[in-house]
Structure 1
Amino acid sequence: MIYIVSGVSGVGKTTIGILLSKKLKLPFYDADDFHPEDNITKMGDGIPLQDEDREGWLENLSQAIRKWNKDGGAVLACSALKEQYRRKLESIPKKEITWIFLHSEFEIILERLNSRKGHYFKPALLQSQYATLEFPGYGIHINVNKTEQEVLDEIMEHLNNPKSEIGLLGLGVMGKSLAINLASNGVKVAVFNRHVEKIEVDIAKNFALENKEIFNFPWFDDLEKFINSLERPRNIFFMVNAGKTVDIIIESLLPFLEEGDLIIDGGNSHYKDTLRREQLLKESGILFMGTGVSGGEEGARKGPSIMPGGSKQAYERVGSFLEKIAAKDKDGNPCCTYIGPEGAGHFVKMLHNGIEYAEMQLIAEYYHFFRFGLKLPPDEIAGIFTDWNKEMQSYLLEISIDILKRKENDDYLLDRILDAAKQKGTGGWSTNAALELGVPFDTITAAVMARIVSGKKEERVQVFEKYNSTTTNNISGGREISSQYFSAYKAGSIINHAIGFSLLTEASAEYKWNLNLSEIARIWTNGCIIRSAFMEELIDIFKERPGGNLLLHPVIINRMKDHRKDLLAVISEALKEGFPVPVLSAAGNYFLAYTSEQTSANMIQAQRDYFGAHTYERNDKSRGEFFHTNWKPGN
């Protein structure tokens, strides 16, 4: 085992490292002794080292670690302030390295440095080290504002009674999958689930037993014991239903938490609730992150897309955990990035779900029209979608193909499913956010309303009987006619994404979140529900044009010019034949309105001025000048 004692200069790495080496009867090494002369000269002159200065130093240490491990182990004192430095030092299996992070307040360490004599590190460099420090979410963390013996005793307590790096609270489908994902990536996880007789019985215990052949999950149904099983500062990740449940859990956790502990809400909480909770916990010195997790059960287990928001300090501490368990993009980078402060992470996840609502409804509309308008059997529709998905590479099209093929005995299972959809709230929340920010949100709002209408099944059956609603079938179907439909489908999807990202742009400006749309698109290219080939394109499109409506990009303009006629033709055909296509129609209406030089709003303004004297602007006068007319005849 290699023990690496880390931290900024002045925390006592060398002193504690020597004491620890004696206690463990292992040789001690100081990473400072491996610096080349040029580095020592720079630091002696008060010049901070750059990453290129550290390359050779880190490689020397990495080779030495391999040798020491073969020889039986060692204790190394090394600053290792950045995660990238720590990864370069991990030249042996992670389980054979124990990281010990020493830390304290800047003022305390500065005082220590000022009293230290004969060392080449200048106190003035301490500020740059704190700025560089990326606090890890793993390892043993010790506050050194105590005696050397107390620090050593605390380290030995951790080594003799190892604690979990992260605690996962809430073992529903997503919670269980995330726990397995974390453990599979070498993170020591403790799990908790409440125990309620006849309702939730032995959930945590049974989960641990089910997985004992592969993983050792310390399990708890006692909250205090669960908290005390975690490394300090504690990292608690919970996956529970949004709403009051989250507040109840936070309230129950608080009596057992200490300053510097971190709570991560991985559920679909409302972004304003996340902001409120972060501000509330900040008063007690508790860190809080609202973290969107997308990918469903499979994604949570194998690699979701993760959208963390809140304190940057908190992300620097647990970002390595989240990046380990996230899906990987085409370049092998984690589909996880720091989104922004406050409720930014949950806002972005909310909008992801809004786009998802409309993409799902768009596919459903095509299925319904093909099945009952064109009279195509499900397997033939699956064939059309398969052809489309060679280009689209859409996860939602992919799963729809599987759904269309699935049979129960000799019947298609889809035909046995009640046509009444549910919505958990994120779609409606995104619509409300769009209204608050004044952003057109046609496709996503239409998708939400379509689900609401679908839920009125009994009422719809009664209305159908009263109107004797029947549809004609004057059109011929088949895969040979799918080109126009495919063109319209692509147009609808493009418009839906343009609408969604427009809300992100407006929210970023309104809340000063500085959202990186290109990076958000990147982490949505794998692991999440709306991943597709188009999302891959959006990475570069938003790099070229970080803001503005997607429909203004030259590539998209040319594409929509090709699709526009087909979009309007398919909408017209479906409606004429009596088939509702709410999202496709909303996409068409939005596109026509957004690309119209003249709209009907002049009549709206005249009406408002007529009955409410709200005034209006004139197109033959300067913007900002307002007029009122007495519209009644004879005046």
Structure 2
Amino acid sequence: MGVSGVGKTTIGTLLSERLSIPYFDGDAFHPKENIEKMTSGHPLNDNDRLGWLKSLNTLAKEQQEIKGCIIGCSALKEKYRDLLKTNIENDVKWIFLTGSYELIVNRLESRKGHYMPPSLLQSQLDSLEIPVDAITINIEKPPEEIVEMLTAEILKKSDFGLIGLGVMGKSLSRNLVAKGFDISVYNRHVPGTEENIARDFKNEFEELKEILAFDDLKSFIDSLQKPRKIMLMVNAGKAVDAVIDDLLPFLSENDIIIDGGNSHYKDTARREAFLAEKTVFFIGAGISGGEEGALTGPSIMPGGEEKAYKMIKPFLETIAAKDKKGKPCCTYIGSSGSGHFTKMIHNGIEYAEMQLLTEIYQIFKSTGKNPDEIAKMLLQRENVMDSYLLEITIEILKKKENGEWLINKILDKAENKGTGNWTTIAAAELGIPNTMIASSLFARYISSFKEERLKLNPLFSHESNSLQLNSGEILKAYQLARIINHAQGFKLLNEASKAYNWQLNLSEIARIWTNGCIIRSTLMEELVNVLEKNENLFYDKNILESVKELKPALSETVPECIKNSIPIPCLSEAINYLNAITLSESPANLIQAQRDYFGAHTYQRTDDESGEFHHTHWKKANL
């Protein structure tokens, strides 16, 4: 691609001979009316080019089915290039030929018998939108040297690079290879602890025999086509900054670094701004699905510069899970750290979903039911509240080891990796009552105090009365609590979108969470349509009807559990939140009066429509 006169036909023909695939001159496919228009000295408009571009796209698709081809085409605008690669996006490589105005004009003037007059060059330059996803070549070099460079770049280099071969990194690498991508992988060399990780990984699987494996960073980077696309699968925090620092001396303009770990969204925004100054793109991509999802298809949440996302879109969307309509569970989330923020909220919802299941497990367990019986209870309403977490919970409860339930042998101390903590802090910073995620986090913290719990247990009575609830009511309470958890999570996403001007598409986020990720469920599938029309779940007619129908069960379950000394922080927060958020007049007027009393913080009055703030001298004067 490039303006007329840069040598597309010369380079394309030579490259065609070198690669043994046919070359087609795009100019030969212009209809008669386009040729006549240019011959008369008038530039083509978008409508003139539309049919021509479509015909070249058809040609490319036909040749793709054989062995590929080279097409010389000006492809001046991004939308032209998008049209040209329709339905073959993953298999297109762009070569952008460019040079000085004087050199191109001289070539045009010396060209004989071409309908494109030199006078139209400036109109092409004015239309040119320089691509960021192309191999850029300066035409001042001899044609043979240019072809030599291109051959080396295209034939001997990988499409995509991945750094960090832990569990997730290995699974994503295998996923990329399975989808037909040529990749390079790198893992650091640490004598005595991490040696030959990349080489051994390559040798472990037959399908990886063609990948390029490195423990030398410069060799790894040199193995990648420009602009380079490098995914980091390293631990969040200082490790990400360290790898970026190591990469920078070897990177070029428009290279892209993708952080696929669970980084904090503010760190992602900082890194993006820092790398932008170095003319390198940075994408923060949340990835959910665990080891299995990374291998077979995760849910991916990329945020950053949209033009950078477009360059990595073919890779991420191809390896992502697919929804029920076959669309990839990967979409452009928004600018800056929005991708990692969205993944953080995903994990926060996940925290509360897991805690709710543990509370239902605890309720049934307190009635004397064994794990098999509890699993059977959960299966009762699986058709209306099906989710990945429910499915694995049922499998966990059924699992036996030497004839005994494995769950009974697992120490009751729940760990966390920080995303629940980050979500809770973000909610507090934004002033959003994300009470269920916070409670699920604190429940994990309480579980970690095992020794203290053992000491306190005999000092308090935990005798349970028989629960005055049936299993159906308990499961209805769980069903409503899940709706409230999702309502809180999406509310936090929506408020963050407004605060940071991310313009998040809540419905699209719900859609990419319908498969591949940990919180996929039938409820999430329902929310795709709900969030198209409402940013608040409770405004939806069907959700509202479900909430009203299920509320009595939750209202009865919570006090019964409390009377029986069963800790249910998430269930109780669910009903408290629902009661509070639907209360037209809260008791917060007393809090504001107290604040004015001791701190003169002022208050607004219900009988003053001006909205002005007032202060009262509350204390009686001493007599």
Pairwise mapping of residues 538-617 of structure 1 onto structure 2 (< 5 A)?
538-545=527-534, 547=535, 549-617=536-604
User: 1:40 deviation in Å?
Assistant: 5.7
Structure 2 equivalent of residue 48 of structure 1: 46
On the 8 A contact 2:57/2:83 being kept in 1, the answer is no
Pairwise mapping of residues 57-76 of structure 1 onto structure 2 (< 5 A)?
57-58=55-56, 60-62=58-60, 64-65=62-63, 69=67, 75-76=70-71
Structure 2 equivalent of residue 530 of structure 1: 519
**CA distance in structure 1 between the partners assigned to 2:302 and 2:614 by the alignment:** 48
On the 8 A contact 1:34/1:60 being kept in 2, the answer is no
Structure 1 unaligned regions, length at least 5:
1-5
On the 8 A contact 2:234/2:261 being kept in 1, the answer is yes
Tell me if 1:257 matches 2:251: yes
Structure 1 residue identity aligned to 2:542: V
User: 1:486 deviation in Å?
Assistant: 2.2
**CA distance in structure 2 between the partners assigned to 1:11 and 1:573 by the alignment:** 80
Structure 2 equivalent of residue 30 of structure 1: 25
* More divergent stretch after superposition (458-467 vs 207-216): 207-216
1:425-444 residue CA offsets vs partner (Å, 9 max, x unmatched): 11111111111111111111
Tell me if 1:498 matches 2:493: no
- Which of 463, 467, 470 pairs up with 1:475? 467
Structure 1 equivalent of residue 507 of structure 2: 518
SS in structure 1 opposite 2:129? Answer: helix
On the 8 A contact 1:46/1:122 being kept in 2, the answer is no
1:193-229 residue CA offsets vs partner (Å, 9 max, x unmatched): 1121232232212111101455422111111111111
1:128-160 residue CA offsets vs partner (Å, 9 max, x unmatched): 6639x6x65xxx723336425242221122355
User: 1:518 deviation in Å?
Assistant: 0.9
On the 8 A contact 2:154/2:225 being kept in 1, the answer is no
Normalised by the length of structure 2, the TM-score is 0.91
1:471-498 residue CA offsets vs partner (Å, 9 max, x unmatched): 3141377xxx332222211211111111
- Which of 45, 66, 77 pairs up with 2:72? 77
1:502-549 residue CA offsets vs partner (Å, 9 max, x unmatched): 11111111111111111111111110111111111111111112x3x2
Structure 1 equivalent of residue 293 of structure 2: 299
**CA distance in structure 2 between the partners assigned to 1:433 and 1:392 by the alignment:** 29
* More divergent stretch after superposition (284-293 vs 24-33): 24-33
User: 1:36 deviation in Å?
Assistant: 4.0
On the 8 A contact 2:57/2:85 being kept in 1, the answer is no
Normalised by the length of structure 1, the TM-score is 0.89
On the 8 A contact 1:62/1:88 being kept in 2, the answer is no
- Which of 399, 408, 420 pairs up with 2:413? 420
On the 8 A contact 2:303/2:334 being kept in 1, the answer is yes
Pairwise mapping of residues 434-449 of structure 1 onto structure 2 (< 5 A)?
434-449=427-442
Tell me if 1:102 matches 2:91: no
Distance 1:448 1:24, change over 3 A: closer
- Which of 451, 458, 474 pairs up with 1:485? 474
On the 8 A contact 1:8/1:103 being kept in 2, the answer is no
Distance 1:78 1:67, change over 3 A: farther
* More divergent stretch after superposition (313-322 vs 117-126): 117-126
Structure 1 equivalent of residue 9 of structure 2: 14
Structure 2 equivalent of residue 290 of structure 1: 284
Structure 2 equivalent of residue 347 of structure 1: 341
**CA distance in structure 1 between the partners assigned to 2:299 and 2:327 by the alignment:** 11
* More divergent stretch after superposition (380-389 vs 490-499): 380-389
Structure 1 residue identity aligned to 2:198: A
The count of aligned residue pairs is: 607
- Which of 454, 467, 480 pairs up with 1:461? 454
**CA distance in structure 1 between the partners assigned to 2:405 and 2:284 by the alignment:** 40
On the 8 A contact 1:524/1:531 being kept in 2, the answer is yes
On the 8 A contact 1:164/1:230 being kept in 2, the answer is yes
On the 8 A contact 2:54/2:83 being kept in 1, the answer is no
Tell me if 1:509 matches 2:498: yes
Tell me if 1:203 matches 2:192: no
On the 8 A contact 2:43/2:123 being kept in 1, the answer is no
1:316-354 residue CA offsets vs partner (Å, 9 max, x unmatched): 111111011000111111111111111011110111101
**CA distance in structure 2 between the partners assigned to 1:304 and 1:218 by the alignment:** 24
SS in structure 2 opposite 1:130? Answer: coil
Distance 1:485 1:116, change over 3 A: farther
Structure 1 equivalent of residue 267 of structure 2: 273
Structure 1 equivalent of residue 112 of structure 2: none
**CA distance in structure 2 between the partners assigned to 1:585 and 1:211 by the alignment:** 49
1:243-262 residue CA offsets vs partner (Å, 9 max, x unmatched): 11111111111122122211
**CA distance in structure 1 between the partners assigned to 2:522 and 2:3 by the alignment:** 44
**CA distance in structure 2 between the partners assigned to 1:59 and 1:258 by the alignment:** 30
On the 8 A contact 2:159/2:225 being kept in 1, the answer is yes
Structure 2 equivalent of residue 233 of structure 1: 227
On the 8 A contact 1:114/1:123 being kept in 2, the answer is no
On the 8 A contact 2:304/2:338 being kept in 1, the answer is yes
**CA distance in structure 2 between the partners assigned to 1:229 and 1:114 by the alignment:** 36
Structure 2 residue identity aligned to 1:257: L
Percent identical: 48
On the 8 A contact 2:174/2:208 being kept in 1, the answer is no
Tell me if 1:375 matches 2:368: yes
**CA distance in structure 1 between the partners assigned to 2:181 and 2:101 by the alignment:** 30
Distance 1:54 1:383, change over 3 A: farther
**CA distance in structure 2 between the partners assigned to 1:175 and 1:27 by the alignment:** 38
Structure 1 residue identity aligned to 2:196: D
User: 1:31 deviation in Å?
Assistant: 3.0
Distance 1:28 1:217, change over 3 A: closer
Distance 1:78 1:594, change over 3 A: same
Structure 2 equivalent of residue 119 of structure 1: 116
Structure 2 equivalent of residue 130 of structure 1: 129
- Which of 219, 224, 234 pairs up with 2:213? 219
Task: Provide the aligned C-alpha RMSD in A.
Answer: 2.8
Structure 1 equivalent of residue 445 of structure 2: 452
Structure 2 equivalent of residue 318 of structure 1: 312
Structure 1 residue identity aligned to 2:511: R
SS in structure 1 opposite 2:518? Answer: coil
* More divergent stretch after superposition (383-392 vs 611-620): 383-392
Structure 2 residue identity aligned to 1:156: T
User: 1:365 deviation in Å?
Assistant: 0.6
On the 8 A contact 1:42/1:48 being kept in 2, the answer is no
User: 1:287 deviation in Å?
Assistant: 0.9
Structure 2 residue identity aligned to 1:386: L
1:24-65 residue CA offsets vs partner (Å, 9 max, x unmatched): 566532233234446667886532049973685146414752
On the 8 A contact 1:7/1:101 being kept in 2, the answer is no
**CA distance in structure 2 between the partners assigned to 1:112 and 1:391 by the alignment:** 67
**CA distance in structure 1 between the partners assigned to 2:313 and 2:54 by the alignment:** 26
**CA distance in structure 1 between the partners assigned to 2:583 and 2:316 by the alignment:** 45
**CA distance in structure 2 between the partners assigned to 1:554 and 1:589 by the alignment:** 22
**CA distance in structure 2 between the partners assigned to 1:36 and 1:243 by the alignment:** 57
**CA distance in structure 2 between the partners assigned to 1:353 and 1:114 by the alignment:** 60
On the 8 A contact 2:202/2:208 being kept in 1, the answer is no
Distance 1:29 1:532, change over 3 A: same
**CA distance in structure 1 between the partners assigned to 2:105 and 2:467 by the alignment:** 83
On the 8 A contact 1:142/1:151 being kept in 2, the answer is no
On the 8 A contact 1:608/1:614 being kept in 2, the answer is yes
User: 1:127 deviation in Å?
Assistant: 5.9
* More divergent stretch after superposition (498-507 vs 13-22): 13-22
On the 8 A contact 2:286/2:342 being kept in 1, the answer is yes
**CA distance in structure 2 between the partners assigned to 1:596 and 1:36 by the alignment:** 68
* More divergent stretch after superposition (444-453 vs 52-61): 52-61
Structure 1 residue identity aligned to 2:192: K
